[in-house]
Chain A
Amino acid sequence: MDPQLARVEEHEHEHIVPRSLYYAVFAALMVLTAVTVGAAFVDLGVLNVGVALGIAVVKAALVVLFFMHVKYSSRLVQLVVLASIFWLLILFLITLSDYVTRGWMAAPQLVR
């Protein structure tokens, strides 16, 4: 067999994650869900939004890395994941830079 193809074949022996890891990730996700509900009932001022989003980001990262196997995926897939997050941040940051920094764009008066 062509040596390059042999390397490809070898690469096929993919990483099989032990079942215990999936159970641990599931438990962590459930605990974090309880924490985010609990935190919402505590007055943290402006930090409430930050805590809620922070926990959601950690939960999403757990799902992406372990349930979606990105931790064990090819560099190319990891690059696509990072690029999609980067593109999302462009959408958020450039839109908000407009709305947040322009004093004349106050909240429109709504028809009562």
Chain B
Amino acid sequence: MPDGALAHPAGHPPAHAAAHPRLQHHFDTLGQQKDAASLGMWVFIAQEIMFFGGMFTAYMVFRMWYPAGFAAASNELDIVLGGINTAVLIGSSLTVAMAVHASQEGRQRQIVWYLVATLVLGVVFLVIKYFEYTAKLFPHHLHAGGEGVLFPAVGWFDVGATPLAAVAPEVRIFMVIYFALTGMHALHMVVGIGILLVILWMARRGAFTPKWYTPVEIFGLYWHFVDIIWIFLFPLLYLVNRHH
């Protein structure tokens, strides 16, 4: 096989007499190839940590400056919906972990079903988030042109006649940080669901075997990372000063 000869100039033969079709020529073994893929994903996640880290830093500075506004604004968020979404995401992390496990053991149908369960939970999360967003952006007690509106031009998050009016500017800062952090998180969920659809399609075609299931593993890393971001967002956004 000329490919093998090129890939192993040092003279040692390829690891597999007939190389696995998924083994790229610049790797010696599937294990080495998978290690390289994992390392690459972790370096990407390190970059993602810094990306969200900037927004978390902004959160810290503004919470230090405006504790009263943050406490008042946080209490406006729906703790039940936030709590359900936390459970939904943790559940989806479990189903992804089980999909990877099923891949390791070559249980083809279970890979598909665990990925479908992950997809359903991911969509449930986004649907709940949609209802939370619309409730905050277009509250039913909206006063046209009222004072204390987050973005007056569009009437976002009206605090006009509520107890929040006293700290309205601080509440607006909290809400901007809330939308920035949860918005970027939700965008990551949308991207994750897009990748998940491709992995699911591959799984249905029986692409993954115990020898090669790198895409499931790498997608799992991404999905778990997005879950971890929410694990920090939930207490920082929903649970500020709940004891009153």
B116 at the interface (CB under 8 A from A): no
- A48: chain B residues within 8 A (beta carbon): 241, 243
Complex-state Cα separation, A64 to B227, whole angstroms: 10
B31 lies within 8 A of A33 (CB) = no
The contact size tier of chain B is 35 or more
A91 lies within 8 A of B53 (CB) = yes
Would you list which residues of chain B between 59 and 83 have a CB under 8 Å from chain A?
60-61, 64-66, 79, 83
B91 at the interface (CB under 8 A from A): yes
Return the CB mask of A42-80 against B: 1 if under 8 Å, else 0. Answer: 111000100011011001100110111000011011001
Complex-state Cα separation, A2 to B15, whole angstroms: 9
Complex-state Cα separation, A9 to B23, whole angstroms: 13
Which of B15, B79, B105, B220: most chain A Cβ within 10 A? B15
User: Which listed residue (A14, A67, A76) contacts B93, Cβ 8 A?
Assistant: A67
A8 lies within 8 A of B42 (CB) = no
B30 at the interface (CB under 8 A from A): yes
User: Which listed residue (B12, B38, B236, B239) contacts A77, Cβ 8 A?
Assistant: B38
Complex-state Cα separation, A52 to B241, whole angstroms: 11
A30 lies within 8 A of B87 (CB) = yes
Would you list which residues of chain B between 9 and 34 have a CB under 8 Å from chain A?
12-13, 15, 28-32
- If A52-B236, A63-B224 touch, does A81 touch B42 (CB 8 Å cutoff)? yes
Binding site for A on B (CB under 8 A): 12-13, 15, 28-32, 35, 38-39, 42-43, 45-46, 49-50, 53-54, 56-57, 60-61, 64-66, 79, 83, 86-87, 90-91, 93-94, 96-98, 101, 104-105, 168-170, 173, 220-221, 224-225, 227-228, 231-232, 234-236, 239, 241-243
